[in-house]
Amino acid sequence: MKEQLSSYWKILIEAVKQQVKPALGCTEPISLALAAATAARYLQHNITRISAEVSPNLMKNGMGVTVPGTGMVGLSIAASLGAVAGDSEAGLEVLKNATPEQVELSKNLLNSGIVCVSIKKACQEVLYSEVTVEDGENSATVIIAGDHTNIVKIIHNGQVVLDKLSSQSEQTASPCQIKQALTNTNTREIYQFITQAPVEEISFILQSAQLNDALSKEGLNNTYGLHIGQTLQRQQQRGLLAKDLLSEIMIRTSAASDARMGGAVLPAMSNSGSGNQGIAATMPVVVVAEYLQVSEEKMARALMLSHLLAIYIHHKFPALSALCAATTASMGAAGAIAWLMEERYEPMAMAISSMIGDISGVICDGASNSCAMKVSTGASAAYKAVLMALDDTCVTGNDGIVTHDVDMTIENLCALASRAMQHTDVQIIEIMEYKAVANG
């Protein structure tokens, strides 16, 4: 039994390692940049054309976000810079080595009209990008599907170089094993894992605190996006916002998202392919852990709990959907903060249930600077839910989609995202397409 349990733990650890990764820039445009960088690797001369097709959801999440180091928003600059300066071996940090000269060159390509990004109609994949890069003599096409870094096809000068890429042999656990483990587990088993697992096996998660806290400091020291963190901090100084733990959670969490969405050239530690989800699962926990002055081991266990709960919830609905996943990642943070406070399962479960009763249904209308507001909302709701749990209070099974079982409540939330909110997603994309046309 012990050996079997140990094997299960290894799969959970591998799930976190695969889903919690450094990422520079919003992951949807970065995924497109990675495809462009991989295609450009096959060229021998100067680029003459870049054409891309993306899924509607990827277009939604890439239209309004700033690409790091460029000061520009949108997928076209992401594709152009990826082709010009991308490191195809760097995954979600594909743009980390781009120089100012390369940024200028990528902008010149845009201005010359040789970069075209459009929506792929009748696309079956929620997350899909297909990029063709040409140099006059050579062409290469790269397709990424299903996951932000999952290259499934490469075509060079009409010849298929790669088809249906599988990286399972490089992984400790296959995607199927991980999916099955997440499907079969529950919040109580996750709780038992993080409280009993050897700390040396999970201490890698502390990097999420280092990266996302650095991003938070950047967001407070410099002006990015809607600068929510700076704004709240200024209102503190004016006496309009209290200088307390809740305010500190909101300020430091939203500041990281400000920097993330505003194009800061610093990586975020992502969760489930999203930097904002990584921030939402990390920063509230970090702030509370520092306030409580807990040990490094307890910080690691709390962060592992938060990130694993976020992964557990998100694996039950599409990678990109109409449901704001920063709010579901905040549910992981709520559970972890409750554990930091009392180290019991019941407050953790109560906090998650209250979160679902509170902020379910917040829509994702594309990645943009306003994501920092939703991240801030999720962080403040998490702390409120924890305070209720500490008072032995939570949203009960008599209310709405919440049941008396936290795992069933999570299932109900994810059923909305997977089924009913698909129609919402279509409407959101139609509205955004109309805006794009109206704005020229």
Average pLDDT score over residue span 36-54: 97
Q: How far is CA 237 from CA 132, 224, 242, 259, 380, in A?
A: 51, 20, 9, 21, 19
**Angle, helix 27-40 to helix 75-85, in steps of 10 degrees:** 40
Query: pLDDT tens digits, residue range 292-326?
Result: 999 999 999 999 999 999 999 999 998 889 999 99
Two tokens, residue 268? 């975020």
Give me the pLDDT at residue 348, please.
99
In this predicted structure, the answer to whether residue 167 has a pLDDT above a threshold of 80 is no
Name the amino acid, one letter, at 173.
A
Domain segments of the chain: what residues?
23-163, 175-438
Query: pLDDT tens digits, residue range 339-363?
Result: 999 999 999 999 999 999 999 999 9
Q: Are 11 and 17 in contact (CB under 8 A)?
A: no
Two tokens, residue 307? 């990130």
Bridge partners, residue 151, by sequence: 144
Name the amino acid, one letter, at 141.
T
Cβ atoms within 10 Å of 2's Cβ, excluding its own: 6
Average pLDDT score over residue span 58-73: 92
Residues 6+ apart with CB under 8 A from 180: none
In this predicted structure, the answer to whether residue 4 has a pLDDT above a threshold of 50 is no
Triad 154, 155, 157: Cα angle to 5°: 150
For a pLDDT cut of 70, what percent of the chain falls above it? 96
Q: Are 126 and 85 in contact (CB under 8 A)?
A: no
Pairing of strands 22-23, 268-269: antiparallel
Strand (E) or helix (H) holding 275: helix 275-292
Q: Are 336 and 309 in contact (CB under 8 A)?
A: yes
Give me the pLDDT at residue 133, please.
98
Assigned fold of 23-163: 60s Ribosomal Protein L30; Chain: A; (3.30.1330)
Q: What one-character DSSP code corresponds to residue 263?
A: T
